[in-house]
Amino acid sequence: MTAQIIDGNALSRQVRADVATRAASLTARGITPGLAVILVGENPASQVYVRNKVKACADAGLHSVLERYDADLSEAALLDRIAALNADPAIHGILVQLPLPRHIDDHKVIEAISPAKDVDGFHIASAGALMVGEVGFKACTPYGCMKMLESIGMANLRGKHAVVIGRSNIVGKPMAMMLLAANATVTVCHSGTADLGVFTRQADIVVAAVGKRNVLTADMVKPGAVVIDVGMNRNDEGKLCGDVDYAGVSTVAGWITPVPGGVGPMTITMLLVNTLEAAERLLPA
């Protein structure tokens, strides 16, 4: 079997076109959705990510501001900026790019963001809302993975077994919650799981989010399964690659997401969706 590709670039274009239409209609009503992106320090990967986020906003007709601070910014000064953005009516979403410098407590910073503007979905209120099925904001990467499943007709996962590899607060845990909400049976594994293949071979859907190459190989995949690769690694030649042995797994899986061009663009797309929704929620019902 040769797996069909779930094209994150193509799906992103579709979803972003819808965001642009909805943003234009909000703008016509006097509300332009606005995102504030905060970057502290000079992390090279973070600089690329924030630039892409700001560009994506402009392309979809969203207002955005990028605030860049030196790595020695104090925690108190960052918390002050967040308080000001919480109160700023032109800003509907606030994103603080992680990782932060070591002297700043990530958790404290995330919790300072108003839950109504938590478009990254990392606030305890957002995680709690997801857990109990209330309205909040879904973390962008797992939300993008769910959109990818939806795009191949897998919105309702009743009767399907999904295995998530990875248990981070950013991907693994919210991913498991979203799969459960879609009625899947969910197993959460991680880099320390003994004999990972025992679990993955039973899975109709595997989501790999470990941050290590070749975590999932062909012998670990059930024929026809859907494989979603959240990994972002470099191979020996310095080229971008995921957690999945793409060449091998493609011969067994039914569907697979490539790296690059898979989950990556969907993460930014769902950030736009969340920012738009944050603004839409301000409209009278």
- Interface with ligand GUN by CB under 6 A: which range of 71-79, 92-100, 180-188, 273-281? 92-100
- Interface with ligand GUN by CB under 6 A: which range of 13-21, 24-32, 96-104, 209-217? 96-104
Which residue among 97, 147, 229, 243 is the active-site one?
97
Q: From residue 52, how far is each of 31, 136, 218, 239, 264 by CA, in Å?
A: 23, 24, 33, 19, 11
Local structure of 87: helix, strand or coil: coil
Which residue among 53, 147, 160, 173 is the active-site one?
53
- Interface with ligand GUN by CB under 6 A: which range of 94-102, 181-189, 240-248, 272-280? 94-102
Instruction: Decide: is 118 part of the binding site for ligand GUN (CB under 6 A).
Output: no
Our answer to whether residue 97 is catalytic in this structure is yes
Chain position carrying tokens 């819808």: 18
Instruction: Decide: is 95 part of the binding site for ligand GUN (CB under 6 A).
Output: yes
Burial (0-12, 13-18, 19+ Cβ within 10 Å), 74: exposed
**Applying CB under 6 A, which of residues 23, 113, 129, 140 lies at the interface with ligand GUN?**
140
Residue closer to ligand GUN (CB basis): 93 or 160: 93
Tell me how far, at minimum, the Cβ of 30 lies from ligand GUN, in Å: 29
Rounded-to-integer distance, Cα 26 and Cα 198, Å: 49
Compute the radius of gyration of the chain from its Cα atoms.
19
Our answer to whether residue 202 is catalytic in this structure is no
- Which DSSP helix (H) or strand (E) runs through 221? none
Which residue among 117, 118, 120, 173 is the active-site one?
120
Strand order in the sheet with 34-40: 63-69, 34-40, 93-96
Structure tokens at 260: 């690059």
Instruction: Decide: is 40 part of the binding site for ligand GUN (CB under 6 A).
Output: no
Tell me how far, at minimum, the Cβ of 136 lies from ligand GUN, in Å: 16
Rounded-to-integer distance, Cα 86 and Cα 117, Å: 7
Tell me how far, at minimum, the Cβ of 131 lies from ligand GUN, in Å: 19
**Applying CB under 6 A, which of residues 20, 54, 98, 125 lies at the interface with ligand GUN?**
98
| CB contact set of 261 (below 8 Å; sequence gap of 6+) | 7, 8, 9
Applying CB under 6 A, what is the total number of residues that bind ligand GUN? Answer: 9
Our answer to whether residue 243 is catalytic in this structure is no
**Applying CB under 6 A, which of residues 11, 26, 85, 120 lies at the interface with ligand GUN?**
120
| CB contact set of 123 (below 8 Å; sequence gap of 6+) | 110, 111, 113, 115, 137
Structure tokens at 250: 């493609």
Rounded-to-integer distance, Cα 52 and Cα 230, Å: 18
By CB under 6 A, the residues from 234 to 273 that bind ligand GUN are 267
By CB under 6 A, the residues from 141 to 160 that bind ligand GUN are 141
| CB contact set of 238 (below 8 Å; sequence gap of 6+) | none
The rounded Cα 259 to chain-centroid distance in angstroms is: 14
Residue closer to ligand GUN (CB basis): 26 or 130: 130
- Interface with ligand GUN by CB under 6 A: which range of 8-16, 75-83, 95-103, 187-195? 95-103
Residues acting as catalytic residues: 53, 97, 120
Residues at the contact surface with ligand GUN, assessed by CB under 6 A: 95-98, 120, 140-141, 170, 267
